Chain A
Amino acid sequence: MGLITDQMPPMIEAFPGGPAFLTSLDSIINWARSSSLWPLTFGTSCCAIEVMMAAGAAHHDLARFGAEVARPSPRQADLLVLAGTIVKRMEPRLRTLYDQMAEPKYVIATGACAISGGPFIYNSYSTVRGAHEIIPVDVYVPGCPPRPEAFFYGLLTLQKMIREGETIRKPNERRKPVLANLPPGLTLEQLRKEMIQNLESHSVTKFSDKPTGGF
């Protein structure tokens, strides 16, 4: 974003209705960024298999969201997908990879290990307890490992975040979307009511009932 403000100040100055021009430019740039995320796969353990299934295999087609060009080099990538346990010896390498990526850069942490250390949080001499101790993380995808659908949800959330995010006037400021992909018109209150109804309707179990499955 700094590039644009440096290169185009005369344009911005000369344009009397500045805010309008800037807003539309912002939205175009953010749309372009969000639709062509090039992920750098940082796969250190089992979550990497799941992300490979999401990114590389035909069944869960990641190309639908414009993020299928997985790059092995940080110079060509702008989305760092952390998939797997981060150990102490990996810590400086991860930091180097993050520093080598060009701005703007985004980070998705998938799986319990990259979020908090996961099953290795206690009594471990080597596991870093969460990727946020090393680099800033934009989106967390929980799971052990997460399903490809969960990974897609995280990616769509990040896209939404990029589209509503940085502007020329406020560079390096990102807003995390709350309930990013709720259908329009649905509020949190309605969800909560529906959840309570569901829970209450299933609160009584009759043990004399015969199983309904076709076994």
Chain B
Amino acid sequence: MSTPKPSRALLALSAAAAALPGYSGEAQAWAEEQADAGYRYSHYQEASLPASATNGGAGERYEVDSHQFHLLHPYGEAWDFSADLMLETMSGASPWYVAPGSGGQAIQVLSGASIQDQRTVLQGRARQHLEQGRRALSLGVSKEDDYLAYSGGVEAEWDFNQRLNTLSAGLGYSYDQLKPTDGGSARFPNRIAKADKDSFTAYAGLSRVLTPQTVAQLGLSYSYSDGYLSDPYKLAYVDANLLPDSRPPDRNQWALTGRLRHYLRSLQAALHVDARYYTDNWGVASDSLEVAWVQKLPSDWRLTPSLRWYQQGHANFYRPYYNATREDGFYSSDYRLSAYGALSGRVAAEKSWRGFSFSAAVEAYQSDGDFALRSVSDESPGLVDFLVVSAALSYRWSLAPPTPRSGGALQPEPALPAPVQIVPATP
């Protein structure tokens, strides 16, 4: 049964009206029954550690090659399905433990053997478009040589107040299983052979159109993890002994996020501001702020420079190394739990041509205790600096045939009544 196709003006209006948080971009695609497919390649390269911070020589670190494949396809008038496949190859050395040097300075010891691992992630999502919102179900699996994770989630968005506001919420669960390489072997008798964890995530967000050029969103997310949360490959130097990395078996994580988008008509550019405050029951608190400038250029080019700043305090059981045992038995010298700050700069260029879009980006990330606002006294010697280069290609095509017009001539569009009823592009 064929359905009358809405006029181009109505499609444009519906797409514009649907341009709300979590929805813009894909909104137009859905309104026009478009599918898209794409591929992205990324190369992640960590900088070597300086010889002064390691146990001799420049510390070669990690690199990752990632291939991402994406497909989104509408089905009927209310559904779309998307699938994402990621293949990653990881190699290099990883921080192992930190020991005191002759002058008491912290020295990072890297894993001697080069790590080789592959990661495959497959995620699928089914989404239903409703008159006043959307709801979606997603499932995923991630597999590495020593790691297997199953995840699933439900998400919903509800537009109200003439689509000036959107309320969004989601619930997710992940079951992760670890089987560390050489776990329980004669060489590594203290390394666990097998462990698992459960993670639950919930979030809610509220967005609001503030002006014809400004939209903002506030979000709150909570995550609870239970099980083995330590790093099976890392050790801690405790009073001249090397003990396994040991962290509390549960973690409560909270994040408050704020996002703003503002369009500057005279410059044909958009200002993006993303901020987050994070805290958890391990004593870590962090702040991050990212500012991006999305500049439209002639011939469908777009240039986006962005700057991101991040800082965190250390976990309450973290030390670079320990001169005495702790009563609670928790030890970790993982640089991720150290206090530090980080700055990263990024530039992305994108070009659209007919249904094709191409983009290339480079990002440089540097971390240092001096980038934090608070003074950092026990900074890890293993803080990471990295460079990411990536390129992506995508193609979007329309599934709906061109709108037939009676009489072959364009009809004048009817005047819009006030207040306007927002009519979905497809009933």
| A and B assemble together | no
- Write the residues of chain B forming the contact surface with A, with a CB cutoff of 8 angstroms: none
- Write the residues of chain A forming the contact surface with B, with a CB cutoff of 8 angstroms: none
